[in-house]
A = this chain, B = another copy of it.
Amino acid sequence: MEESRCENCIVRQFNSLRAMSKEELKQVSDSKTTKSIKKGEPLFQEGDKLNGVYCVRNGVSKLSKLSPNGKDQIVKLATKGEVMGQRSVIAEESTNLSAIAVSDMEVCFIPKDSINSTLHKNPNFTLEVLRHMAHDLKEADDVIVNMSQKTVKQRIAEAFLYLKNNFGEDDEGFLKLTLSREDIANVVGTATESAIRIISEFKKKGLIYTSGKRIRVADARKLQDMAEGF
């Protein structure tokens, strides 16, 4: 593990922890524990009471919710620098989402007491967390609109652009984050078969190119048009 003190952790630059004072960070660092999670393993499950938050150092986790009909809806993909479980800790409720690693991960677990005491004492930190949450809520509203107003085809096109823009591409241009067809279906909220069919169609049309599980966005412009309904 390269750097195990929060004070020096680069990841912190990207999240609310940057608004903490030196002393607060020290305290957090002393109380945190680091965990390695293998792809496919859960960090926590829907309904769990969380005793702290998880700060992602490396890898990606899906945050999903099981619907009554047995399907999993992926609500968010959390990556380096993001904090998971804050909502549950802040509202003091059990969590409404499950977190499962979609790639090997390294996360820091920060006990809720460290968070809560800072929330009560440091308005800047609280405000920073609030700003983050305001942003998440806005994104959630956008997702609601997309879900109800766009076709599956449009949502899948959007999903590929999202993966490209947020997780990047490797040297060969393939998406760094590889999701199974089932996960893609669960992100856009459709049946796995429907997702597969549409992905095949995109291949035929030259919008994407695949090699095994890996996917490359071949024509971002056309994908964008597709996402907008042309």
A interface residues (Cβ-Cβ under 8 A, vs B): 65, 67-69, 71, 73, 75, 86-87, 90-91, 93, 96-97, 119-124, 126-127, 129-131, 133-138, 140-150, 188-190, 228-229
Contacts and interface: CB of A to CB of B under 8 A. Distances in A.
A188 B144 CA distance: 10
Contacts of A121: 123
Contact of A87 (B127, B134, B229): B134
A91 B135 contact: yes
Contact of A149 (B120, B143, B189, B229): B189
B134 A90 contact: yes
B144 A133 contact: no
Nearest to A65: B145
B145 A144 contact: no
Contacts of A91: 131, 134-135, 138
A182 to B, nearest CB: 14
A142 B90 contact: no
A119 B123 contact: yes
A137 B190 CA distance: 22
Contacts of A86: 134
Contacts of A126: 123, 126-127, 130
Given A126-B123, A137-B137, A143 B142 contact: no
Contacts of A229: 68-69
B75 A145 contact: yes
Contact of A96 (B87, B120, B138): B138
A144 B142 contact: no
Closest 3 CB pairs of A and B: A148-B189, A67-B149, A140-B140
Contacts of A147: 144, 147-148, 189
Contact of A123 (B90, B122, B131, B137): B122
Contacts of A120: 123-124, 127
A147 B141 CA distance: 12
A149 B47 CA distance: 19
Contacts of A190: 148
B134 A96 contact: no
